[in-house]
Structure 1
């Protein structure tokens, strides 16, 4: 006596035949070989010169009149103390409008921007920065005369910060 095989015990049919699987694989390889449109390609990060030119609107900043105090060797990139001073009388006729800090290899290189006016009294900024890795950090000050001054420093970071992209 033989018993009929129940549908639950029957061997399932494969979802794809071998021929269909090979065709799907070949289509995937062909798709991967297509060129990526320029709009979808990841752009290279901007260079420090491009970042400075963007902030100064193409003007070349002068060196001098700005003191940029930042440690050259930092153990932890999560907390880097910085002091920036610009020589300025901070009067209506001669003052610093803003100070901008750039860290070229951070996920977001525009680290800080401090707005000043003659009422600030001094162009003296103290802050704590986060640095992703060893890199060049730049401080740029915009003067009310339309000029810019800058100072930079190469910083070595032994324990990086910003590794999560934020």
Structure 2
């Protein structure tokens, strides 16, 4: 079969197909969802990450500013007290931001070869909210730290 033997789309068929595609895209974009997550959504995100493990306080150090002038770039540092040996080390640290549209902000994975379980970066925050750092250890235990950050200007388009 040569190129000229293919049936051609009429202008009407092309316009109908393009219009249908745009309507589908608009429908997906307009699908309702919460503007911001809350504590319940954050709890659900943590549960998906750690399963049924119980969470203890301690070992996790979370440093955030108490007031963020601009939520577009909020610095944080998280570290976990651990000897980072083959038998006792931090496997993962999850950052959960309770007021953002999507609460699971980041995951950091470690091994004993990491030497130290510490990371610093910046994130966006939509509004005043609690931020959690949840650490899973090699023995299956889970620890967390939680801190509130007051955001004066939201950084997530809201």
Partner SS for 2:152: strand
Partner Cα separation in structure 2 for residue 52 and residue 113 of structure 1: 11
Residue 160 of structure 1: how far off its partner (Å) = 0.4
Conserved 8 A contact 1:68-1:85: yes
Show the counterpart of 1:74: 68
Structure-to-structure mapping, 1:1-166, within 5 angstroms: 42=32, 45=37, 47=40, 48-163=42-157
- The 4+ residue runs of structure 1 with deviation greater than 3 A are 41-46
Do the aligned residues in 2 keep the contact of 1:63 with 1:151 (CA within 8 Å)?
Answer: yes
Name the SS of the counterpart of 1:76 in structure 2: coil
Give the Cα–Cα distance (whole angstroms) in 2 for the partners of residues 75 and 96 of structure 1: 32
Structure 2 residue runs of 5 or longer lacking an equivalent are: 1-30
| Structure 1 residue ranges without an equivalent (≥5) | 1-40
TM-score after normalising by structure 1? 0.70
Q: Aligned residues, how many?
A: 124
Structure 1 window deviating more from structure 2 (148-157 vs 102-111): it is 102-111
Partner of 1:55: helix, strand, or coil?
helix
CA distance in 2 between partners of 1:61 and 1:125 (Å): 21
Alpha-carbon RMSD:
1.7
Higher relative contact order, chain-length normalized (CA < 8 Å, sep 6+): 2
